[in-house]
Amino acid sequence: MNKKISIIGLPLDMGASIRGARLGPSTLRLNGLIRELKSLDLEIKDLGDIEVSNSYEDQVGPKNLKNYQIVKEACTKLYNKVDEIIKTKNLPLVLGGDHSLAIGSVKAALNNYPDLGVIWIDTHGDINNEKISPSGNIHGMSLSAIMGLACEELSNIGQNKNFLKSQNLVYIGLRDLDKEERQVLKDYNIKAFSLQEIDEYSIGKVTKEALKYLNKKTNHIHVSLDIDVVDPIYAPGTGTRKNGGLTPREIFLLTEILSKSDLITSVDLVEVNPLLDIKSQTSVLAIDIAKSLFGEKLL
């Protein structure tokens, strides 16, 4: 894996319905993220946070897109910054913020690697669009925008030439899908490993199978990791919790296997909400996950 890491924060939480993830990037830094990554002999550049025009109340947007203008502006800025980072041959680590930011980061990665593969590590599918979303929250529509399955307002953010191919997407950790999202996964034959399959086959086998599946198509993989994939017993500081998630042992094995693949070219770490956390438990876990993903090993 590239040892030159550029960190950029996007303190955005207007893509979600629960406020607080805007504090995620600064909380991760305050809990030692930069220091811990530097301890791995990585070349770390902290580029700070992109300025975001967050609000405290929801704003009506077009086509059932809540807070559209705020999310669009933030994701466009992130797109430009991540595109710039990749062109300098550094690996971008994007700190969230809610998961709508992936519209900017993944679109930028696709601009540089049209054959990009994406491993989406999340409890949720995030593949609703403006027509089927029950909430209008854009963090639940990220992948539709990235794949060109949403309206022009979303799909055109960043760039609209290189969309993610359905066969280049793999989910790991799903356990909460809307009915319409299940149909989208079936219609586009999207590779997905739910918690049931992880329980049956083990996280190690599932992760290796995901890498094998993508490695036939690409040498460039974007990892987008939502901390809510971890069981809330261990990660209470996130906005859309659901019982029955991954244990720390499972998430560390997953990220260590990904790290060893040498295929990772960009990363999102999202949905850490310190307002909901208990004694920084989730922030510290997220930092340990980042360390594992970037090469920390026990032996």
Q: Which residues are catalytic?
A: 99, 122, 124, 126, 139, 226, 228, 271
R_g of the chain, CA atoms, integer Å: 17
To the question of whether residue 226 is assigned a binding role by annotation, the answer is yes
Q: What is the CA 116 to chain-centroid distance, rounded?
A: 15
Contacts of 107 (CB under 8 A, 6+ apart): 75, 79, 145, 146, 157, 158, 159, 162
Give the number of other CB atoms < 10 A from CB of residue 82: 30
To the question of whether residue 126 is assigned a binding role by annotation, the answer is yes
What is the Cα–Cα distance from 117 to 223, expressed in whole angstroms?
A: 9
* Contact between residue 221 and residue 117 where contact means Cβ atoms under 8 Å apart: yes
Give the residue among 162, 73, 60, 155 at the shortest CA–CA distance from 114: 162
Contacts of 19 (CB under 8 A, 6+ apart): 13, 56, 275
Q: Tell me the C-alpha to C-alpha distance, in Å, between residue 178 and each of 29, 79, 125, 274.
A: 34, 28, 8, 27
Rounded to 5°, the CA angle 234-97-73 comes to 165
To the question of whether residue 220 is assigned a binding role by annotation, the answer is no
Per the annotation, binding residues are 99, 122, 124, 126, 226, 228
Per the annotation, binding residues for Mn(2+) are 99, 122, 124, 126, 226, 228
